[in-house]
Amino acid sequence: MTKQKTNDQNTLDRRNFLKRATVVSGLVSAPLLSSPLLAQNYSNRKTCKTMELADDFIYLNSGTEGSMPDCVIDDFNNNLKRWASNPTASYETDRHFRKHQHYHREKIARLFSVEKDNICLTDNTTMGMYMVLMGLNFKSTDSIIYTNQEHTAITSPLAMHKEKTGLKLLQRDFPTASKLNRMTSHEVVEYLLPNTKELRGATALCVSHVYPSTGIRLPLKLLRKKADQLSIKYLIVDGAQAFGMIDLSEGDDDIKLSDFYACPGHKWLNGPPGTGILFLKNKSIKPPEFYPTLSQRMEKYSSKNSDFPMAEALQVRGCSNVPGFTSMLTAIDYQNNIGGSKAVEKHIIDLAQTVKEFIYSHSPLSLVSPRLDKSLASGLTVFFPFSWENPNKIFTDKNTANIVVKALLEKNIQIRAIGFNDEVSPNKKIYGLRVSTAIFNNAQQIKQFQQIIKEVLSTLS
């Protein structure tokens, strides 16, 4: 344990030293982006780079947390100073911050071609999911469908409901990892949500857009179609691993295909910590269908005819992270300036595909994430550790996954181990390795990763 700490500290110290050295010598370079348009825009924007990651540190874990580019950090710093220099005005009247975030909500709404009252700013995905799952007026006779791969941002509020009201939770299991990487999106959605009596008429379908465990994306268009076919009232989506990675403005992954969608600003968007967005399709939703659980505006609904917007009721909840929300808009501007969400998605998915092909070409059995159907693809690639010399030898235990992660970190590459339940081992988690390829990563870094992971996997026998 002490040794682990020492190693991590050494790695950090070295990284900080190298970073300082490169900054002093002026050698900080722009990432080599795969898309020519993105690369051109990136290098033209001399004022915004992801500089806090040292040049020799290959950070492949945006699925846990992104890294703010310097324009976002500068903006955040300036916002904090502005706030501290005139606190009351900042809270009450400052036009830059705007009370109750009307301006921020308006700007985010425009991204998705919706209205301000469809958008509430939150601290993170978990907060958004809680606002929805505690806000909807579930009864003991209701049933909610979810899967065996959901994050605790979904399972925790569902467990609370089960305990409080006894409502029915219908867990659906994903196909086992060995089948998943060859399936199409239609096959996966049919497998998860067959047209059975049990699922028909469920109150809610509560799923993730992109799964942190397997990297699988469930296209919103297929989910919407399924929810309608099964007459499910609400499609509630956890978008923690999608916003900032996938274009949510139109097409098969349009946020408007969901009824509620919660996502963060701090992961793939590379915005400040403690920022997130909740989308509510029905801007007129109100009690008794939906209660503003975390709010200072419940009294607005004391009259039956109240049309007070629910998104605003949820927004007014005491002092929020306004400097952070303001800088989240800067992170959005930044993505738009370098090509927009479609170009960002392409860059991220192209890099992920390179990782998938590399792993698959050497050990087809180890790859968990889908490889063939692009509509299932994301920037997360998950695979089990395997022996490089004997690629059919796969490891699914926690210890081996942690050993590989640690060995990579010692070489300045950050990925993570991820545990999940599989159909074949429902009660015992199996562990894979998860690689996140983000906007600030480039093809050269992936080549280095391939070389080092080969060395590390060669030590497994």
Ligand X SMILES: Cc1ncc(COP(=O)(O)O)c(C=O)c1O
Which one, 94 or 238, has the nearer CB to ligand X? 238
Q: How far is the CB of 185 from ligand X (least distance, A)?
A: 18
CA angle 305, 258, 129 (to 5 degrees): 80
Closer residue to ligand X in complex, CB, 264/309: 264
Burial code (b: 16+ CB inside 10 Å, e: under 16) for 302-334 equals eeeeeebbbbbbbbbbeebbbbbbbbbbbbbeb
Q: How far apart are CA 108 and CA 113, in angstroms?
A: 9
For residue 112, the minimal CB distance to ligand X (Å) is 18
Residue 133: Cβ-neighbour burial (10 angstroms; 0-12, 13-18, 19+): buried
- Residue 381 · residue 355 · CB < 8 Å: yes
**Rule CB under 6 A: which residues touch ligand X?**
124-126, 151, 153, 208, 212, 238, 240-241, 264, 276
Nearer Cβ to ligand X (126/185) = 126
**In 3-state terms, what secondary structure has residue 146?**
strand
Nearer to ligand X, 212 or 324 (CB): 212
- Nearer to ligand X by Cβ, of 238 and 247: the residue is 238
Instruction: Find the shortest distance in angstroms from Cβ 328 to ligand X.
Output: 12
Type of residue found at 352: A
Q: How many CB atoms lie within 10 A of CB 295?
A: 21
| Shortest separation between residue 26's beta carbon and ligand X, angstroms | 35
Find the shortest distance in angstroms from Cβ 416 to ligand X: 10
Q: Look at residue 383 and give its three-state secondary structure.
A: strand
Beta-strand pair 260-264/204-208 = unpaired
A 10 A CB-CB count for 57 gives: 20
Could you tell me the smallest distance in angstroms from the CB atom of residue 95 to ligand X?
A: 29
Query: Looking at beta carbons only, is 273 or 364 nearer to ligand X?
Result: 273
Of 227 and 245, nearer to ligand X (C-beta) is 245
Q: How far is CA 196 from CA 26, 149, 203, 230, 304, in A?
A: 63, 21, 15, 8, 38
Min dist CB 434 to ligand X, Å, is: 10
Question: Is 284 exposed, middle or buried, given 0-12, 13-18 or 19+ CB atoms closer than 10 A?
Answer: exposed
